[in-house]
Amino acid sequence: MITGQNLIAGQWSAQGKETFSSINPRTKEQSEGWFVNATSEEVDLAVTRAAEAFKTTRLYSAERLAAFLDTVADEIEKLGAVLIETADAETGLGKPRLEGERGRTTGQMRLFGKLLREGSYVEAIIDTAQQDRKPAPRPSIRRMLVPLGPVGVFGAGNFPLAFSVAGGDTASAFAAGCPVIVKAHPGHPGTSELVARAIRAAVEQCDFPLGFFSMLQGSTTEVGQALVAHPLLEAVGFTGSLAGGRALFDAAAGRPRPIPVFAEMGSVNPVVITPNAVKARGEAIAEGLATAVTLGSGQFCTNPGLIFVFDDPESQSLIAQVGELMDRRRPGVLLNQATQDHLFKTVGETLEHPSVSKRTLVDDINAGGYCYPNTVLQTTSEAFIADESLQREHFGPVTLFVVCSSFDALCQAIDALKGNLTATVHAEADDLDMAGNLFSLLREKAGRLIWNGYPTGVEVVHAMQHGGPYPATTAPQTTSVGLTAVKRFMRPVAFQNIPDALLPDALKDANPLTIWRIVDDELTRKPIST
């Protein structure tokens, strides 16, 4: 059923000679089939056809795009059990988790459809003409968002559905009316092929141009670099490592015509736990942290990898509890060899620091697949403030407690933080002032602030902000989850004195889409009387 080919504007294609196979992380066995790296000619054809498709799709109505998103969701569901089985074999993430992820993926497509049908997402702003203004009449100026053009999407390894071929980047680019060329993650090429097949079916059913979607396989960085370098590409969405995201950002910024890279690159997701919270809910917090740190074998960009506590006996007991709970849990399988190698390397480096000690005991993982022991580390606020290498991400079931000598030391440690996706405070009602001060500091360091929760769940809702200051992302002013993600792939255009018949519907006097518009500084759904 899986052919190993690339999908280039509706055609399955395998021009290249370089191949790779997927590996089952539970058994380290190779899949039977081979996948063929896309050639530079295939990359060129995919982007060229995307640019051609854009000439049509950029003018599609929101309704037409919404119907397409719904059809993509339907087609992904129609793939049935084989999708979950393939994804499980390629990633080892487990069927329950992957079924949930599929629901998130299709739900996200349909949610963007709802946004489009409501229609106000184009941000229409209208300033009507003032014929009598002196010294010259004021023209009519009407502004709205229009789609940007072909988007390159790089699938993430840790979410083979929700942040991959039909993930949030693809969904939001489609919602904008932009063609997408996916560079599939080599960790789950079969899953990628299946999802590409579903999208291809939707393209055909909805009578979209075939160039609206392509999917490139690639086990080396060359395919992705060729995609980002292509002169007709307009933007890039990426979820993955700092090194990978930064390389694409640099390539895109260095182009003769630079293009934006919306790269979400990971985070250590600081959590602060006040003494009162430890006293009141220490056991529950220990349980919650152990669950969050080991969820999906810790392979979440929102994994709570850094936990600030104070230097008191209750907090020491909390650390010990988290260590025990994590020792007791059987470590999950990791995505691949690289993830395992990287964990050994990064945790090893952190442990070399004289201030760092380990609070878990189990070392012998004795697993058949890729694996790393659940690990709790501990250091001091003084060491943390002095050495920014202690902020390195350990991508896996690992967390580092920072024991703070004082509230001042905690504030200094927060001040020293680099950018993160999230920041959490566990506190009690009595701590409200302290928590307010902490959130005020943490706001400058993260895209999402959480009270008495765990950062791992990222709700797909209108208000979600999944982003944050560098190095969490290369684009802190945007989000990769939530409905405002669509705006990454749009740009404003103003229409000056354009006759009503030539205006897009969103800007016409009669407001035929009955969307919300800012008309002469007032938000309204009323038509403009002429």
Q: Which residues 494-523 are close enough to bind a copy of itself by CB under 8 A? A: 494-499, 501-502, 516, 518, 521, 523
For 382-402, give one letter per residue: b (16+ CB within 10 A) or e.
bbbbeeeebbbbbbbbbbbbb
**Residues 6+ positions from 483 with CB-CB distance below 8 Å:** 111, 112, 115, 121, 461, 462, 464
Candidate ranges 20-28, 155-163, 381-389, 441-449; the one touching a copy of itself (CB under 8 A): 441-449
Residue 127 engages a copy of itself in binding (rule: CB under 8 A): yes
Site for a copy of itself in 10-69 (CB under 8 A): 58-59
| 234 a catalytic residue | no
- H helices of 369-423, where? 381-386, 407-416
- Binding a copy of itself (rule: CB under 8 A), the pick from 30, 220, 221, 477 is 477
492 counts as binding a copy of itself under rule CB under 8 A: yes
Residues 399-428 that bind a copy of itself (CB under 8 A): 418-419
Q: Which of 81, 207, 257, 364 binds a copy of itself (CB under 8 A)?
A: 257
Count other Cβ atoms within 10 Å, centred on residue 311.
Answer: 14
| Complex with a copy of itself: residue 146 or 338, whichever CB lies closer | 146
Q: Rounded to whole angstroms, how far apart are CA atoms 83 and 487?
A: 30
Cα distances (Å, whole numbers) of residue 253 to 246, 422, 440, 488: 10, 27, 32, 16
**Which of 435, 486, 506, 513 is close enough to bind a copy of itself by CB under 8 A?**
435
Respond yes or no: is residue 301 known to be catalytic.
Answer: yes
* 231 makes contact with a copy of itself (CB under 8 A): no
DSSP class of 371: B
Q: Is 301 exposed, middle or buried (0-12, 13-18, 19+ CB in 10 A)?
A: buried
Which of 101, 234, 264, 393 is labelled catalytic? 264
Q: Considering only CA atoms, give the Rg of the chain.
A: 25
Residues 87-126 that bind a copy of itself (CB under 8 A): 114, 118, 120, 123, 125-126
Nearer to a copy of itself, 289 or 398 (CB): 289
Catalytic residue, candidates 301, 371, 393, 404: 301
Residue 323 vs 482, nearer CB to a copy of itself: 482
459 near a copy of itself (CB under 8 A): yes
For 446, which DSSP code?
A: E
**Cα dist from 143 to 48, 122, 177, 505, 517, whole Å:** 29, 9, 18, 12, 10
Based on the shown chain and the rule CB under 8 A, indicate whether residue 446 belongs to the binding site for a copy of itself: yes
Instruction: Give the number of residues in contact with a copy of itself, rule: CB under 8 A.
Output: 77
Does position 493 interact with a copy of itself (CB under 8 A)? The reply is yes
Cα distance between residue 475 and residue 54, in whole Å: 24
Q: What span, in angstroms and rounded, lies between the C-alpha atoms of 126 and 122?
A: 12
Residues 146-175 that bind a copy of itself (CB under 8 A): 146, 148-149
Residues 278-317 that bind a copy of itself (CB under 8 A): none
Residue among 139, 39, 130, 3 at smallest CA distance from 495: 139
User: What is the set of active-site residues?
Assistant: 264, 301
